[in-house]
Structure 1
Amino acid sequence: MHNIFINLYKYRELIAALTWKNIVIRYKQAYLGILWAVLKPIMLMLVFTLVKSFVGIETGGLPYPLITFAALIPWVFFQESVSEGVNSVTSNASLIKKIYFPREVFPLTAMVTKLVELLISFAILAGMMIYYQVMPTVNAVWIPAFVLYTMIVALTISFFGAAMNVYYRDIGQAIPIALSLLMYGSPVIYPLSLVQKKLVIEQAAGAWSNDLYFLYSLNPLVGIIDGFQSALIRATQPDFDVIYPGLILILTILPFSYWFFKRAESWFADVI
């Protein structure tokens, strides 16, 4: 696994060049330029806020738009990193056929590109926090750790998905659908406290309640999103009991995902 970090450093100039190329190509001749990167979370926040006005979701007295945007920052970063990471190998077929370098550079580049957009989203969130007079506390020091955790989750899926997508192009088509469904299994539209209230406290699913909550907590995005909201908006320490199940699962899967990618990359140039 240490090869990921070695290659990240060794090929940092290549990753930087490919990242710049991706940004230039994506926003070339676009009037709003890189602001398109944050248009998606803003529009989703507005839609969710409208839905909330009809449904009614308890937020503990905090502004719903702020809570939702704080959830959308890691979610959109994860979603976009995975979507581009899975397609990163097939979309760079010409480079793969011309010269050799570790192919994990492509998923890494896709993720680094999204880091640039993530910074812009944080700037918008800072403006919203000032508007709603919600100031961060010392708990905000956890945010870099959650960003790193999100990157690890995205890479775990990207390595396996990118390798599979070379051989089965249906994977690239299925990923956006799967991620859309996963969003409803993550506390983006609703807070985690609502799930805990229904399953842990009220036992709404009867004898299955505790098991369903455990399965829900295995989703690493649950701990990431709740941690983001706690550290930035609620000004409380992240709930590590929520974080551990998904973290243990993803750290178990990541070595196998990376091994599968490295095993498959030997035939990328022939198949692609």
Structure 2
Amino acid sequence: MIAIAKNLYDYRELMLSLAWKNIIVRYKQAYMGLAWAVIKPLLLMLIFSVVKSFVGIETGGIPYPILAFAALMPWILFQESASEGVNSVVGNASLIRKIYFPREIFPLTATLTKLIELLISFLILAGLMAYYQMAPTWNALWVPLIILYTLLAALVISLVGSAINVYYRDIGMALPVLLQIMMYLSPVIYPLSLVKQRLLEDQAAGSWSDILYFIYTLNPLAGIIDAFQRTMLQGLPPDLASLWPGVLLTAILLPISYKLFKTAESHFADVI
């Protein structure tokens, strides 16, 4: 682990250059530029709010628009980090053919680049909290760890996905669909408390309820979104019971994903 960190540190200037290139390319011919980082979560928040007005979703007294926006922030960070990470190696084919450097720099840089858009979303969240007269507490200090956890979860998909995408481009086509399905399996539109109530309290699935809730929380986004909402909007610490299954799964899969990436790396220049 120390050797990996040192290796990446040695190429920090390249990572900064690639990060800047990613930002320029993404918004170069976009008339509204970084404004799209604002429009996307706001538009989704409005759509979810309209849906909520028809179906009714218990929010525990928190205004639904800000609850939805707080769910969308880590979700969009994860979704776009994973999407760009999976396509990062193929997207830099010309550079891979020219010189050697650690190829994991591509998915890692693609993931870290999304932090700029996240900072913009934090400004919007601050405005919404001021509007709804909500103030953060010291529990907001958990947020950097939650964001780090989100990036690591995205990196699991980015590393293995980008390696597979070099050999089978289908993964790049299938990923948006899979992530869309994953959104509905994560507490983005609805809060985790609703799932907990139905499964743990109401035992809606009978004897399978506890097992199904555990499987649900294996999805890292379940604990991440709930923890972000609790720490920022409710002034509460993260619910460790909903966090640990996803943390454990991520801790197991991340080194496996990295190992698979490094195994496939030696043939990238030949195949790509």
Residue by residue over 1:20-56, the C-alpha shift from the partner in whole angstroms, topping out at 9 and shown as x without a partner, is: 1111121123222111123211111110000000011
Alignment of 1:42-121 (within 5 A): 42-121=42-121
Q: Give 1:4 shift.
A: 4.1
Give the match's secondary structure for 1:30. Answer: coil
Q: Give 1:5 shift.
A: 2.6
Between the aligned residues of both structures, percent identity stands at: 64
Residue by residue over 1:190-216, the C-alpha shift from the partner in whole angstroms, topping out at 9 and shown as x without a partner, is: 001100110000011112111111100
Distance 1:38 1:153 in 2: 23
Task: Tell me the TM-score normalized by structure 2.
Answer: 0.98
Residue by residue over 1:223-269, the C-alpha shift from the partner in whole angstroms, topping out at 9 and shown as x without a partner, is: 10000000000111110111001101110111111000001000000
Give the match's secondary structure for 2:114. Answer: helix
Alignment of 1:128-207 (within 5 A): 128-207=128-207
Residue by residue over 1:52-100, the C-alpha shift from the partner in whole angstroms, topping out at 9 and shown as x without a partner, is: 0001111111110101100100000000000000000001000000011
Give the match's secondary structure for 2:92. Answer: helix
Give the match's secondary structure for 1:175. Answer: helix
Distance 2:175 2:7 in 1: 26
Give the match's secondary structure for 1:134. Answer: coil
Task: Tell me the TM-score normalized by structure 1.
Answer: 0.98
Give the counterpart letter for 1:149 in structure 2: Y
Structure 2: tracts of 5 or more residues without a match: none
Match of 1:266 in 2: 266
Greater displacement, 125-134 / 33-42: 33-42
Match of 2:228 in 1: 228
Match of 1:39 in 2: 39
Distance 1:219 1:93 in 2: 32
Distance 2:202 2:252 in 1: 32
What is the total number of aligned residue pairs between the two structures?
272
Give the counterpart letter for 1:26 in structure 2: R
Deviation beyond 3 Å, 4+ runs, structure 1: 1-4
Distance 1:221 1:60, change over 3 A: same
Distance 1:233 1:11 in 2: 38
Distance 2:17 2:101 in 1: 14
Distance 2:100 2:73 in 1: 35
Give the match's secondary structure for 1:43. Answer: helix
Q: Does 1:241 align with 2:234?
A: no
Distance 1:271 1:23 in 2: 27
Match of 1:27 in 2: 27
Distance 1:4 1:20 in 2: 23
Q: Give 1:185 shift.
A: 0.7
Distance 1:40 1:4, change over 3 A: farther
Distance 2:185 2:29 in 1: 36
Give the counterpart letter for 2:142 in structure 1: W
Q: Does 1:253 align with 2:250?
A: no
Distance 1:57 1:8 in 2: 45
Q: Give 1:3 shift.
A: 4.3
Distance 1:271 1:130 in 2: 52
Give the counterpart letter for 2:266 in structure 1: S
Give the counterpart letter for 2:144 in structure 1: P
Distance 1:29 1:230, change over 3 A: same
